[in-house]
């Protein structure tokens, strides 16, 4: 579709949403900040009812502001609990605009979707029990790039999914929304009905497109009713169903519908007595139903770009892994630094940070009772706000743990003959990637009869290159010593609050035991013992088999370590780097 055609559909979607913002759920608008998005939002505001509120919800909104709760200022002044309406309740009967929907927290998503389902917000906190009506439509602004997407639970509840990124400012023509026409359609909407055959046709189309959500055909039906009301129809027509399928079902399609080729008889069968006198109307209705299904599927097919299914599959695969920016380690709780993660009742121990606002909020409902208790004691110089130890609220934070990637490189004679140069190049490339992610890298080499740490955890690319340049090759393969050194360094890294990841580059053919003695059986037994030690500690390990002909040795060691096994007999440094990055996510 051309940019002008996409913009025309976007304008139609805005008008349909303005007719029934509560019934249609809302619009998922995937678009970066641009004049095109501003023009669409301005058009929507013109079409919406002037009596309905429009509230903007930031992505980092606090739970108390979103749902409501205790009005701290009024409560402290009045000396009794006074409730405050949340932003969702303030938007009752109107529309909320979710900014940066792709970065909504799971808690905010749950609260918004729960209010959409129930039509109200329920608050049980700060000594209050409130139920406030909150029926609203949603415009979710998704500014994500590549594999960043808005929450699936929110997308499923919004009828219209639009993508304005491909529209240029020249394609965004001038469209004026007639507020009187929209108001008339809004008044006509309760009288519009659809028959059972039309509902069945929408459900059949959704099933043929691979859509499993039951909300999709229901939302398509509501869009069809809004289209009929806007067009001045007395009931849902075929054109309304086709438009609803194109706007609601096409963006959700996961399969191209398969056309069933019906066998055509060479000669039509003779008319029966019932068909001759007009009593065979059931077969005629069946033909009409099949025609309606074909019309809806044809409308959807026309709206699906040729490469959309490949894009959807790539997007769903990317969503499962996520894109790492900054530190790539797991989240951990912290009492001092990081992103805010709520508050907790607790004592003022060393390092704890008191949340003054939440502490006052916890103490406010009890001020009247505490003043009466204090008055009985005869205290004249008491503070205006009485706070006790149970009121203390401590701020909690969460931050990503820093990852330390430990490379354990086989520098023995057999490895040096084949893969030592590639291993050096791979470490340099991975170090550059770790620098972007703010991770640290360490390098351990084992050869001869022992293992040696050539590079302690560092982010310095120049230092890593110097250490790698001076890495000699030759001698036996003390694999057990290399794994023991990796375990000790991993344990030290964990004690510092960091996350270790071990990448072993070896051919797996150990021939030097832990005590430096020679003999392949003893060396293999020691290597297995060291591998089980890493697995028992729960350390993430990737074993890259650098042998020209990968055999059973490397795979057996990987199983004992619980590591991911990557046989790469003919990979260069770049291929090795890509494989390792894909393995560690």
Name which residue leads in pLDDT, 523 or 574.
Answer: 523
Q: Give this prediction's pTM.
A: 0.60
pLDDT at 322: 38
pLDDT at 135: 95
pLDDT at 514: 87
**For residue 84, is pLDDT > 80?**
yes
Q: In the chain, what are the domain boundaries?
A: 1-170, 178-256+286-321, 350-398, 403-584
3-class state of residue 202 by DSSP: helix
| Pair of tokens at residue 533 | 């030690």
* pLDDT tens-digit series, residues 229-274: 999 999 999 899 999 988 999 888 877 665 554 444 445 555 444 4
pLDDT at 415: 57
Rounded CA-CA distance 465/467 in Å is: 5
Share of the chain above pLDDT 70, in %: 73
Pick the CATH number of 178-256+286-321 from 3.30.70.120, 1.10.8.80, 3.20.20.70, 3.40.50.300: 1.10.8.80
Name which residue leads in pLDDT, 313 or 171.
Answer: 171
pLDDT bin (cut points 50, 70, 90) of residue 572 is: low
Name which residue leads in pLDDT, 545 or 17.
Answer: 17
Strand partners, 444: 408, 453
**For residue 536, is pLDDT > 70?**
yes
pLDDT at 312: 45
Rounded CA-CA distance 197/233 in Å is: 18
Widest distance between CA atoms in the chain? 108
The listed range with the strongest mean pLDDT (50-64, 278-292, 468-482, 561-575) is 50-64
3-class state of residue 96 by DSSP: strand
Q: What's the full length of the chain, in residues?
A: 585
Mean pLDDT computed over 503-509: 83
Rounded CA-CA distance 17/40 in Å is: 12
- State the DSSP string of 446-510: EETTEEEEEEEEE--HHHHHHHHHT----S---HHHHHHHHHHHHHHHHHTT-EEEEEEEE----
Phi and psi at residue 459, in whole multiples of 5°?
-110, 0
| Other CB atoms within 10 A of residue 350 CB | 5
pLDDT at 50: 85
**For residue 418, is pLDDT > 90?**
no
Name which residue leads in pLDDT, 13 or 5.
Answer: 13
Structural contact between residues 205 and 249, judged by C-beta atoms closer than 8 angstroms: yes
Q: In this predicted structure, which of 105-114, 345-354, 355-364 has the lowest mean pLDDT?
A: 345-354
Matching CATH topology for 1-170 and 178-256+286-321? no
**For residue 91, is pLDDT > 70?**
yes
Question: In the CATH hierarchy, which top-level class contains the domain 1-170?
Answer: alpha beta
Name which residue leads in pLDDT, 516 or 402.
Answer: 516
Rounded CA-CA distance 231/181 in Å is: 9
119: left (phi over 0), alpha (psi -120 to 50) or beta: left
CATH number of the 403-584 domain: 3.40.50.410
- Mean pLDDT (the chain) is 78
- Please classify residue 439 by burial: count the beta carbons closer than 10 Å to its beta carbon, then call 0-12 exposed, 13-18 middle and 19+ buried: buried
pLDDT at 137: 95
In our burial notation (b when 16+ CB lie closer than 10 A, e otherwise), range 393-410 reads bbbbbebbbbbbbbbbbb
The candidate with the shortest Cα–Cα distance to 431, out of 421, 417, 441, is 441
Q: What is the dihedral of CA 301, 302, 306, 312, to 10 degrees?
A: -60
| Pair of tokens at residue 438 | 């703010």
Share of the chain above pLDDT 90, in %: 23
**For residue 310, is pLDDT > 60?**
no
- State the DSSP string of 12-54: HHHHHHHH-TTTS-EEEEE--SSHHHHHHHHHHHHHS-TTS-E
CA-atom Rg of the chain in angstroms: 33
Rounded CA-CA distance 300/253 in Å is: 9
Name which residue leads in pLDDT, 35 or 349.
Answer: 35
Whole-number Cα distances in Å, 471 to 12, 466, 476, 494: 66, 9, 15, 27
Angle (nearest 5°) at CA 291 between 286 and 294? 130
* pLDDT tens-digit series, residues 20-75: 999 999 999 999 888 899 999 998 998 888 888 999 999 888 888 898 888 777 77
Rounded CA-CA distance 112/122 in Å is: 12
pLDDT bin (cut points 50, 70, 90) of residue 431 is: low
**For residue 134, is pLDDT > 60?**
yes
How crowded is the C-beta side of 82, counted as CA atoms within 13 Å?
10
**For residue 569, is pLDDT > 70?**
no
Q: In this predicted structure, which of 70-79, 386-395, 403-412, 487-496 has the lowest mean pLDDT?
A: 70-79
Q: In this predicted structure, which of 12-26, 199-213, 423-437 has the lowest mean pLDDT?
A: 423-437
Q: In this predicted structure, which of 234-248, 330-344, 457-471 has the lowest mean pLDDT?
A: 330-344
Rounded CA-CA distance 297/209 in Å is: 8
**For residue 94, is pLDDT > 90?**
yes
- Strand-pair category, 393-400 with 499-506: unpaired
**For residue 191, is pLDDT > 80?**
yes
Whole-number Cα distances in Å, 447 to 450, 499, 573: 6, 26, 21
The listed range with the strongest mean pLDDT (165-179, 487-501, 545-559, 571-585) is 487-501
pLDDT at 401: 67
The listed range with the strongest mean pLDDT (22-31, 78-87, 139-148, 332-341) is 22-31
Name which residue leads in pLDDT, 319 or 458.
Answer: 458
pLDDT bin (cut points 50, 70, 90) of residue 125 is: confident
Rounded CA-CA distance 318/326 in Å is: 17
Rounded CA-CA distance 383/409 in Å is: 67
3-class state of residue 277 by DSSP: coil
Q: What is the dihedral of CA 74, 78, 82, 87, to 10 degrees?
A: -10
Rounded CA-CA distance 179/406 in Å is: 64
**For residue 302, is pLDDT > 90?**
no
């Amino acid at each position: 579709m051309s940019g002008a055609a996409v913009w025309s559909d976007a304008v139609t979607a805005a008008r349909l949403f303005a007719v029934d913002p509560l019934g249609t759920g809302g619009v998922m608008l995937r678009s970066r900040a641009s004049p095109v998005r501003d023009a669409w939002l301005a058009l929507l505001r013109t079409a919406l009812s002037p009596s309905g509120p429009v509230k903007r919800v930031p992505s980092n909104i606090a739970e108390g502001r979103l749902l409501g709760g205790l009005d701290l200022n009024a409560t402290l002044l009045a000396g009794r609990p006074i409730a405050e309406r949340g932003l969702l309740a303030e938007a009752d009967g109107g529309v909320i605009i979710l900014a940066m929907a792709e970065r909504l927290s799971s808690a905010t998503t749950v609260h918004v979707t729960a209010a959409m389902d129930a039509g109200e917000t329920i608050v049980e906190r700060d000594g209050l029990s409130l139920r406030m009506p909150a029926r609203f439509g949603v415009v979710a602004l998704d500014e994500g790039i590549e594999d960043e997407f808005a929450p699936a639970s929110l997308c499923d509840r919004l009828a219209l999914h639009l993508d304005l990124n491909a529209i240029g400012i020249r394609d965004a023509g001038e469209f004026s929304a007639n507020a009187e026409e929209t108001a008339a359609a809004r008044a006509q909407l309760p009288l519009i009905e659809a028959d059972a055959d039309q509902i069945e046709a929408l459900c059949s189309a959704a099933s043929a497109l691979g859509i499993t959500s039951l909300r999709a055909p229901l939302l398509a039906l509501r869009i069809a009713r809004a289209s009929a009301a806007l067009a001045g129809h007395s009931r849902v027509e075929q054109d309304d169903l086709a438009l609803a399928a194109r706007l609601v079902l096409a963006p959700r399609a996961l399969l191209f519908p398969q056309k069933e080729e019906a066998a055509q008889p060479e000669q039509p069968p003779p008319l029966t007595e019932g068909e001759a006198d007009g009593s065979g109307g059931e077969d005629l209705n069946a033909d009409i139903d099949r025609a309606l299904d074909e019309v809806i599927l044809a409308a959807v097919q026309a709206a699906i770009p040729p490469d959309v299914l490949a894009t959807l599959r790539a997007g769903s695969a990317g969503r499962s892994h996520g894109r790492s920016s900054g530190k790539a380690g797991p989240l951990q709780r912290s009492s001092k630094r990081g992103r805010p993660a709520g508050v907790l009742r607790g004592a003022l121990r060393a390092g704890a940070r008191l949340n003054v606002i939440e502490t006052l909020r916890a103490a406010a409902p009890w001020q009247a009772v505490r003043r009466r208790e204090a008055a009985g004691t005869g205290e004249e110089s008491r503070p205006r706000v009485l706070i006790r130890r149970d009121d203390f609220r401590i701020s909690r934070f969460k931050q990503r743990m820093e990852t330390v990637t430990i490379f354990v490189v086989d520098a023995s004679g057999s490895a040096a003959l084949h893969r030592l140069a590639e291993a050096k190049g791979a470490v340099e490339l991975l170090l550059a990637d770790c620098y972007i992610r703010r991770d640290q890298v360490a390098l351990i080499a084992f050869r001869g009869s022992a293992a040696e740490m050539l590079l302690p955890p560092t982010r310095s690319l120049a230092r890593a290159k110097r250490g790698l340049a001076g890495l000699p090759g030759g001698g036996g393969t003390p694999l057990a010593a290399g794994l023991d050194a990796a375990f000790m360094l991993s344990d030290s890294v964990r004690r510092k609050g960091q996350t270790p990841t071990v990448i072993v580059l070896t051919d797996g053919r150990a021939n030097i035991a832990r005590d430096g003695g020679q003999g392949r059986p003893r060396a293999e037994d020691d290597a297995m013992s060291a591998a089980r030690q890493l697995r028992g500690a729960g350390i993430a390990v990737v074993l890259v088999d650098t042998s020209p002909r990968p055999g059973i040795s490397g795979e057996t060691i990987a199983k004992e370590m619980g590591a991911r096994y990557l046989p790469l007999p003919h990979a260069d440094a770049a291929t090795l780097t890509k494989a390792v990055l894909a393995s560690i996510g």
